[in-house]
Amino acid sequence: MMREGMRWTLRILLWLMLVISSLGVIGNLLAPPTPPTAPGMTVQQAARLQELGSFAAGFSQVWLTWDGKETMEQRKQRLRPYVAPAMLEEAARIQLPKQEQRQIVSDVQQMGMNQLDEAHWQVRVWAQLSTPAARMMELRVPVTWDAGGNPVIDGLPLLQNVIPPEAGTPRAHGPAAEKGVRDAMRPALEAFFTAYFRAKESSELANFTAPSVSIRPLGGWLELKEIQTLDVYGSKPYEAVIRLAVEDKATGVIVPQIYTLQVTEDQGKYFIASLR
């Protein structure tokens, strides 16, 4: 009888162990997924980065959606939850060739992000447009944290072809370049961007880039309309910040774009060393 009692006791213990083990597995399956972490990054930090990426994707959908019948104030109201107050007017500004035109975004997806400096990130977002024509577009969205610790868009997104990511570069500006450098550099940058928007192969930009530098052009779907502002900093190599008005040739819509370039100079000629 004693042996039989021990046998039943062991069976009950084994049964309880199996139940507890099963509950643990089920708990793991039902637990919400945690964001992936890089070495040295806490789960909380990874979650904050996911928040930045989701925020940039949401902004992209709103920014790329427009209707010719919408007023400037209505567009600003849609963008206000995403954009820093100082950038709101700039981000909302578009020029439509026809009032009845509109653009609809059917889907957006965060594809990756580059850290530009301690507080600023550039998020890659793919957008699927359904109207006026079905096509894919990539945006590079600048995002940071405001004083309250909330994500905020602090610059204009850059329109790109759907291509692999490029490394981020620092945002800090040095002192203004020597007098005359900006005016001397302007024609070279205008020629470069005209070719950059129009060309289909990197080799077509070889005359504009520094040795061993390869820049992938956009292939003809954007067109340079004008250079609106140009600021140049430092000395060789220079940092140039340029604001352009560009036209989406599929729709005729004109939007602003801001690029930061590293520019070298050799015997009075200027060459592009990097572009973001």
Q: Are 122 and 140 in contact (CB under 8 A)?
A: yes
Q: How many CB atoms lie within 10 A of CB 49?
A: 18
Which of these ranges, 26-30, 93-97, 233-237, has the smallest mean pLDDT?
26-30
Please report, to the nearest 10 degrees, the dihedral formed by the alpha carbons of residues 113, 116, 121, 124 taken in order.
-30
* Dihedral sign, Cα of residue 247, residue 250, residue 251, residue 252: positive
Is it the case that residue 106 has pLDDT exceeding 50? yes
Backbone region of residue 71 per phi and psi (left: phi > 0; alpha: psi in -120 to 50; beta: other values): beta
Neighbours of 198 (CB within 10 A): 16
Mean pLDDT over 210-236 rounds to 90
**The tokens of 220 are what?**
């003809």
The answer to whether the CB of 164 falls within 8 A of the CB of 141 is no
**Lowest pLDDT segment from 34-48, 224-238, 245-259:** 34-48
Q: How many Å apart are CA 17 and CA 23, to the nearest integer?
A: 10
User: What pLDDT score was predicted for residue 96?
Assistant: 80
Ramachandran category for residue 238: left, alpha or beta (phi over 0 → left; psi -120 to 50 → alpha): beta
- For residues 16-25, give the mean pLDDT: 44
Q: Pairing state of beta strands 135-145 and 158-160?
A: antiparallel
Task: Quote the pTM value.
Answer: 0.60
Domains and CATH numbers, the chain: 43-160 (3.10.450.540), 181-275 (3.10.450.540)
Contact 226, 240 (CB under 8 A): no
pLDDT band at 68 (very low <50, low <70, confident <90, very high): confident
